[in-house]
Chains A and B, each alone.
Chain A
Amino acid sequence: MLINLIEVLSVLAIPFLILFIVAYGAIKKVKVYELFVEGAKEGFNVGVRIIPFLVAMLVAIGVFRSSGAMDFLATLLAPLTNLIGMPAEALPVAIMRPLSGSGTLGLISEVMKTHGPDSLIGRMVSVIMGSGETTFYVLAVYFGSVSISKTRHAVPAGIIADIVGILMSVWIVNWMFG
């Protein structure tokens, strides 16, 4: 029931949003076509402007991922996971979450295939995926679009928020389903 509703909503959301905005514009008698083109012009510059930032970020993440350093880091941090009630298999997911969306997707599918989506660990990785974001990609794209390389406290704050999100996911899944 709920899943059907969500499916319908996610299919309809975008076309309806666009229709709503354009129709609202037409009702308010603005020149919708001309304005659209004028706004769309900026798309190109933004896309090009973020390239160097995105290359820098994705290369570093790519090197980290392809070296298998993930497993190494997971082994290193493994003693901590028991302490907070996190299964060892969920740790790579937590480390991957801020780095790569597709990477996390691959990992959680793997975990859920092995343990089942309705297992405690399956639920935990689902919540970690659902409540997290690819922090470093967002940082590169957003700051890159206005050519900002001095990011000040955005990075530490973002990482602290990520860690809190993960701890929260682990705790709440253990509490609700454990």
Chain B
Amino acid sequence: MLNYIWISLLAIGIIVAVSKDVSDLSSDKFRNGKELNVVFKMDSTSRVESIFIAQEQFNQFYNTSETNDIQTKAELRFLDSTSGTISLLLNETSPIIWKQLSKAQKKENHLSGKIALSGTRAKIIFDEVKFTTINSVTNDGFFSSAKTAVTLAIGLIGIMALWLGIMKIAEESGLIARLALFFKPIMTRIFPDVPADHPAMGAMMMNISANMLGLSNAATPFGLKAMEHLNSLNKKMGTATDAMCTFLVINTSNVQLIPATVIAIRASLGSSSPTEILGASIVATTVNTIVGVAVVKLLAKLPKYKSESA
């Protein structure tokens, strides 16, 4: 299944990107290389330069439907007396097509091009953009993500070392065993093929507790330790056991009781009651965890998955 999802994400991404770029090119969406006539205004007192285009003229050029005349501040750099380069400063009210073009040019809120002046009139040719989406798939999608993955993994080493160290203390002092003993009745039901006194039980319990409390950076190291213990019971290396799948689903279904990040964002955006979603969130996450565990148990019985286990 993961194979299919993996190829689907890649294939859908690439196909969508290519078709987007081809359709932009064939409709000449950004009017590459074409001259846009503008009125040029240079305010001698405030030294603010700006360009002006009437609404209908703009819409005719881009085949858009802007509702206002376009007026934008600009920075001009002369190469000789009548020509040079121009950089438009875009803002909230700028036309969408320009915002897209600026993004495609990889300029933040700027739009660059060449300008030819004659009196107060001027012609602008914006820098050409081609294959922007597929380029961003190559650079952001493939290369940046690969780099990010390594950065994340390396970053995890320190956190892992910290929590695995703490966990070792908890293990040797008998704290984890006590925690495991307390939850033994539930855990042995959820994980029937793991011996009740196996260290995997304690590690899983630590992971689930940390997850519930929202301590996600402790939960991951605990969870990975649990996976290691579960793998010691694995008779077929490289293939997941039933217990691993169950444990994974508990983790992917998020058993967090207090979604602190969401509450913080809601508060920062001026919510009158940032915590009002707590009840709904707890119910939703409880239901999805219960359903997840039920489904994983059912699927394990399917001949297709059963035959893959040892």
The residue from A68, A133, A154 contacting B17, defined by CB atoms under 8 A apart: A68
In the assembled complex, the Cα of A37 lies from the Cα of B168 at a distance in Å of 9
- B248 to chain A minimum Cβ distance, whole angstroms, is 5
For this complex, into which size category does the number of interface residues on chain B fall?
Answer: 35 or more
Residues of A that sit less than 8 Å from B by CB: 2-3, 6, 9-10, 13-14, 17-18, 21-22, 24-25, 27-28, 30, 32, 35-44, 46-48, 50-51, 54-69, 72-73, 98, 105, 108-109, 112-113, 116-118, 122-123, 126-127, 129-133, 135-136, 138-139, 141-143, 145-158, 160-162, 164-165, 168-169, 172-173, 176-177
- A149 to chain B minimum Cβ distance, whole angstroms, is 6
Q: With A17-B218, A154-B296 in contact, do A59 and B149 touch (Cβ < 8 Å)?
A: yes
Q: Are B16 and A67 in contact (CB under 8 A)?
A: yes
Q: Are A127 and B169 in contact (CB under 8 A)?
A: no
- B14 to chain A minimum Cβ distance, whole angstroms, is 7
Q: Which residues of B lie under 8 Å from residue A168 when comparing CB positions? A: 283-284, 287-288
Q: Which residues of A lie under 8 Å from residue B258 when comparing CB positions? A: 6, 9-10
Interface status of B97 (Cβ within 8 A of chain A): no
Interface of B is mostly: helix
Interface of A is mostly: helix
Q: Which residues of A lie under 8 Å from residue B87 when comparing CB positions? A: none
In the complex, identify which listed stretch (B33-41, B62-70, B237-245) lies at the interface while the others stay far away. Answer: B237-245
- B145 to chain A minimum Cβ distance, whole angstroms, is 3
Q: Which residues of A lie under 8 Å from residue B169 when comparing CB positions? A: 21-22, 25, 30, 32, 35-36, 39
Q: Are A130 and B281 in contact (CB under 8 A)?
A: yes
Q: With A59-B142, A127-B280 in contact, do A165 and B238 touch (Cβ < 8 Å)?
A: no
- A154 to chain B minimum Cβ distance, whole angstroms, is 4
Q: With A40-B165, A165-B285 in contact, do A25 and B170 touch (Cβ < 8 Å)?
A: yes
Residues of B that sit less than 8 Å from A by CB: 1-2, 5-6, 9-10, 12-14, 16-17, 20, 133, 136-137, 140-142, 144-146, 148-150, 152-154, 156-162, 164-175, 213-215, 217-218, 220-221, 223-224, 227-228, 230-231, 234, 237-240, 244-245, 247-249, 251-254, 256, 258-263, 265-267, 269-285, 287-289, 291-292, 295-296, 299-300, 302, 305, 308-309
